[in-house]
Amino acid sequence: MFRLLSRSSLPQASTLAPKVDVLYDFILWISLISFVAVIGALIYFVFRYRRRTESDKTPYITGHSVAENAVAVGLLAVVMAIFAWGWIGYKEIIQSPAEALEIQILGRQWLWQVEYDNGRTLVNELVVPKGKPVQLIMTSADVLHSFYVPDFRLKQDLVPGAYTKLWFEATEAGEHQVFCAEYCGTAHAQMFAKVKVLEPEEYARWQAEGGQAQVAATTGGKKGAAHSVHLAVNLAEKGRQVFTQKGCMACHAVEKGKILVGPSLFGIFGKQETLADGSKVVVDENYLRESLMDPQLKLVKGFPPLMPTFRGVLTDEEVNALVAYVKSLK
């Protein structure tokens, strides 16, 4: 009951959030007052006019149209005010500032793919600068999804075959949870992402570094090679991070015998698997890599063809790390 008078416990992390909350509070107070008035009267009447004898006399009252009309008109005024306020707030939600930073979002069962103008792609992670308007241009590869950031009080459906937009300006640095809010099948409840809000300078540094790392990783250039010594030490550890970041954990468990959408990866390396067409395959590095790029090619028997391709999403480095991580699951 202590929650009754307070709105959500969420931080107000976008410029829009406080505005939404004020209207929420306004409606909450209107509701509480109306509720107490109606239910207060009801309870009072039930006690005050309880039946005392079987021959109680009651007055003959058939209505009072002035009172009814007054209720109707008064209420109409209040709900129109709520409507207008809601519309004003909504107009701000849909009108993005012209100079917004544009980022592409692709939703697919069951991960979020984020692509920046410079070609940099992230999975289940959206990095944005604080205090700068960001415009998301979103579409879906398969079914409906909805990009929902409670801390920003924002949500927009993703529709396959069409683009939808959502803009915001983050006001709080740190991580903010993203949910999929439109039911999309098996792992709908695991289709998470994080919005990472960085200070503007930090964001610029991140974008500069990342852009280089991306180039290095894809071309297998010298910088990548120089890193590899360091990486080899805990490649499996990095693989574990990639596994979480890229959403693999939504469908694959790493515990023994636990099956989510796809098979558990525990102890899978080196094991012989039966495929959907009855043939057998031994799980090795090549099979793992191939399954990431063309998941439907050699599907393990008993599992639906649901996994999306990670071609162009994972760098070679990340694939290597994932393979090392799967090897380590024993």
Partner 1 sequence: MAEHSHHKSYLEEGGVKSWFTTLDHKRIGIMYLFTTMFFFAVGGIFGLLVRLELLQPGPLFSPDLYNKFFTLHGAIMIFMFIIPNIPAALGNFFLPIHIGAKDVAFPRLNLASYYIFVGGATLLILSLLTGGVDTGWTFYTPYSIRTATSVVLATLGVFVMGFSGILTGLNFMTTVHKLRAPGMTFYRMPLFIWAIYATAIIQVLATPVIGITTLLLVMERVLGVGFFDPKLGGDPVLFQHFFWFYSHPAVYIMILPGMGIVSEVIPVFSRKHIFGYKAIAYSSLAIAFISFIVWGHHMFVSSQSPLANFLFSILTMFVAVPTAIKIFNWTATLYKGSIQLKTPMLYALAFIFLFTIGGLTGLFLAALSVDVHLHDTYFVVAHFHYVMMGGTVMGLLAGLHYWWPKMFGKMYPETLGKISWAFNFVGFNVTFLPQFWLGSDGMPRRYHDYLPQYAHWNLVSTVGSWLIGAGMLLMFGYFIASLFKKEKAADNPWGGKTLEWQISSPPPVHNFEKTPVITEGPYEYGQP
Residues 110-149 that bind partner 1 (CB under 8 A): 142-144, 146, 148
134 near 212, Cβ under 8 Å? no
Interacting span for partner 1 (CB under 8 A) from 51-59, 100-108, 167-175, 274-282: 51-59
Tell me if 153 contacts partner 1 by CB under 8 A.
yes
**Element of type H or E holding 126:** strand 125-129
Rounded CA-CA distance 46/67 in Å is: 21
Footprint of partner 1 on residues 253-312 (CB under 8 A)? 259-261, 304
Interacting span for partner 1 (CB under 8 A) from 128-136, 155-163, 194-202, 268-276: 155-163
Interacting span for partner 1 (CB under 8 A) from 57-65, 221-229, 240-248, 307-315: 57-65
Footprint of partner 1 on residues 191-210 (CB under 8 A)? none
31 near 24, Cβ under 8 Å? no
The residue from 101, 115, 125, 179 that contacts partner 1 (CB under 8 A) is 179
Token look-up 């410029």 returns 15
Interacting span for partner 1 (CB under 8 A) from 63-71, 124-132, 239-247, 263-271: 63-71
**Element of type H or E holding 147:** strand 145-149
Shortest Å, Cβ 296 to partner 1:
14
The residue from 5, 18, 68, 119 that contacts partner 1 (CB under 8 A) is 68
Footprint of partner 1 on residues 219-248 (CB under 8 A)? none
The residue from 184, 216, 254, 283 that contacts partner 1 (CB under 8 A) is 184
Structure token digits, residue 246: 């890229």
Tell me if 29 contacts partner 1 by CB under 8 A.
no
133, burial (CB in 10 Å: exposed 0-12, middle 13-18, buried 19+): middle
State residue 256 phi and psi, 5-degree precision: -65, 130
Tell me if 175 contacts partner 1 by CB under 8 A.
no
Closest CA relative to residue 159, chosen from 112, 93, 111, 107: 107
State in Å, rounded, how far the first CA of the chain is from the last one.
48
Interacting span for partner 1 (CB under 8 A) from 20-28, 124-132, 273-281, 322-330: 20-28
- Tell me if the bond preceding 110 is cis, omega within 30° of 0: yes
